[in-house]
Chain A
Amino acid sequence: MASGGRPERQAPPEFFYNEDEAKKYSSNTRMIEIQSHLSERALEILKLPDQPCFVLDIGCGSGLSGESITEQGHYWVGMDISSHMLDVAVDREVEGDLILGDMGYGIPFKPGTFDGVISISALQWLCNADKKYHHPPKRLLKFFTSLYAAVARGGKAVFQFYPENSSQLELITQQAMKAGWTGGLVVDYPNSTKAKKMFLCLFAGGQPQQLPKGLGEEQSSSSHVSFTDKRERMKNMRGKNPKTNKDWILSKKERRRRQGKEVRADSKYTGRKRKDKF
């Protein structure tokens, strides 16, 4: 993927993730690191209870994300459209069960099966029409509707994905809401181009829940501009030389002191006018 360009633009997933591409996911340490980091973060957002849960991993690929699920003591079933990626997963002897399937055709599971769902870098593939009869909005809706059924009430689904543009993002969230899901986007590091990661966090019924906060959002969280009285102050000083003002002198002395320069101590004479006769 690092070779530039979006993989979604190159070929349908079942052809893009061929043997060579699949091999990367078991040998390229950078890819493995990114994938497992993302899945750990997704699981953190998913916040499963402490008991062992039954989780669905959509677009499980070679089972890297599944390994993080196993580490946390949960059981999982993975679904992917690329048989080569699944073969790699079998070779790696992952704990979860694997299914070859297309998420756009629906999730072939009984209602209420799963306690939670995660998906790492897969959802954006649904926005493509790779076959003549594919209709992305329909496929997305089918996917979200069948997934909604397959998840137990109060269950959560977390999708990490790379939307190509804002209209894809809008389409995905719109179809998810249409299918009955609630929730929204969690964005990690929204101000960084590279580290920015989007998570679609969806709830299937149950109590209304609060979306978790994205990472690195501290500075950006205040959407309004903080109040400053600077303009006011300048207005009041109109007509006077601001530098003869006592406050200004004191603040300048303070500034120079901070810079480690030699400054005379403040006294009652500081900033005072000299007598006329001087």
Chain B
Amino acid sequence: MKLLTHNFLTSNIIKGVKNGYPLSILPGKVEMKEVDFNPEFITRMLPKIEWSALQKAAKECGFEEGLPDTVGEEQLGDTDLLKRVHKALLEIEVVEGKLVCPESGREFPINNGIPNMLLNEDEV
């Protein structure tokens, strides 16, 4: 699972959970996977990204990439920043580990890079 996906993932499908965001990551195995840099896509995603959640997730995975707290208009042309964001969003890959819902404490296992978001009968 990439941090891009994690940045949008919530556990609010569990019954009784309001926000379920951001999910904490308990990493087991984290890999770096090279992905082609696409500045256009990163620029498009910038306004959608929740920076505090991304910073937290990167820290949990053991990366401190110097991510910004917010991104303003004037920073959009900053290629260096875009590259750092690209690395955090697309190249960090959580292969094994767990996601934890901040409200209910429910754990979602990550196996083979795939988070298991299946619920039990009583959680629907």
Contacts and interface: CB of A to CB of B under 8 A. Distances in A.
A98 B1 CA distance: 7
Contact of A108 (B2, B4, B11, B44): B11
Contact of B114 (A90, A109, A110, A112): A90
B60 to A, nearest CB: 17
A106 B13 contact: yes
A170 interface: no
Interface in A41-59: 51-54
Interface residues on A, range: 20 to 34
Interface in A98-150: 98-102, 105-110, 112-113, 131, 133, 146
Interface stretch (B62-70, B77-85, B115-123): B115-123
Given A107-B13, A108-B12, A52 B41 contact: yes
Contacts, number: 77
Contacts of B40: 51-52
A29 B115 CA distance: 29
A131 B121 contact: yes
Interface residues of B, number: 29
B117 A100 contact: yes
Nearest to A97: B5
A83 B13 contact: no
Contact of B48 (A83, A98, A112): A112
B114 A52 contact: no
Pairs of residues from A and B, 8 with the lowest C-beta to C-beta distance, nearest first: A106-B13, A52-B41, A101-B117, A97-B5, A113-B8, A100-B116, A98-B114, A108-B13
B66 to A, nearest CB: 23
Given A51-B40, A51-B44, A110-B21, A105 B4 contact: no
Contacts of A109: 8-10
Given A52-B38, A97-B5, A108-B11, A133 B121 contact: yes
Interface of B: 1-2, 4-5, 8-13, 20-21, 38, 40-41, 44-45, 48, 50, 112-119, 121, 124
Contact of B45 (A54, A83, A107, A133): A54
Given A100-B118, A110-B21, A105 B13 contact: yes
A152 B85 CA distance: 22
29 contacts: A51-B41, A52-B41, A52-B44, A54-B44, A54-B48, A75-B41, A81-B118, A83-B114, A86-B112, A87-B112, A90-B113, A90-B114, A97-B4, A99-B1, A99-B9, A99-B117, A100-B114, A102-B118, A102-B119, A105-B117, A105-B119, A106-B12, A108-B11, A108-B13, A108-B20, A109-B8, A109-B10, A110-B8, A110-B50
